[in-house]
């Protein structure tokens, strides 16, 4: 789990570094509709997953994308083909994404990210978590290049930040 979080921090940090370098480029105009782009990717992901179409979900990723998840033994699924196979496991299990709510987006040049909260029903159990999705513009299309999905451990999750000391 810690390795997964460190790798996610590295990926997001790398994306931000690339975004900072790209911020002064004339490609900044790519960012004007990033909220809409992030929403469309989330909607397409949810629709593809819930309709049992892992090909539609996999098509949202770049060929060599990283998907980080604690639901997979190594915590890392790399490449569109492997991401498709991973999504197929959830489809086969009849898991369902109930909602994806975008919390934040930002963009610089041809790189962007979104942070969202999702709710799902997995084997009759309600679950929730958060995603960090890093996307990159390839020619005319935005593709996911890194996707971190985090699910809290209810046994160790802090219930109320107001109860912690600062």
Residues 49-107 have pLDDT tens digits of 999 999 999 999 999 999 988 776 788 999 999 999 999 999 999 999 999 999 999 99
CATH code, domain carrying 104? 3.10.450.50
This prediction has a pTM of 0.78
Residue 91 to residue 113: CA distance in whole angstroms: 25
Q: How many domains does the chain have?
A: 1
Q: How far is CA 56 from CA 16, 83, 160, in A?
A: 27, 11, 38
Per the structure, the complete domain to which residue 136 belongs is given by 2-163
């Amino acid at each position: 789990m810690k390795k997964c979080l460190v790798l996610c921090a590295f990926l997001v940090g790398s994306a931000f570094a690339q975004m900072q370098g790209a911020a002064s480029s004339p490609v900044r105009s790519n960012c004007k509709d990033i909220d809409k782009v992030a929403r469309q990717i989330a909607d397409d992901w949810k629709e593809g997953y819930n309709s049992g179409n892992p090909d539609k979900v996999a098509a949202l990723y770049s060929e060599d994308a990283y998907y980080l998840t604690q639901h997979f033994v190594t915590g890392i699924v790399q490449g569109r083909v492997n991401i498709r196979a991973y999504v197929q496991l959830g489809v086969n299990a009849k898991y369902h994404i109930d909602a994806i709510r975008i919390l934040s987006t930002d963009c610089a040049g041809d790189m962007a990210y979104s942070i969202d909260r999702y709710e799902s029903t997995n084997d009759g159990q309600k679950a929730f978590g958060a995603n960090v999705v890093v996307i990159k513009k390839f020619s005319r299309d935005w593709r996911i290049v890194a996707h971190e999905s985090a699910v809290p451990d209810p046994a160790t999750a802090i219930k109320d930040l107001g109860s912690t000391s600062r």
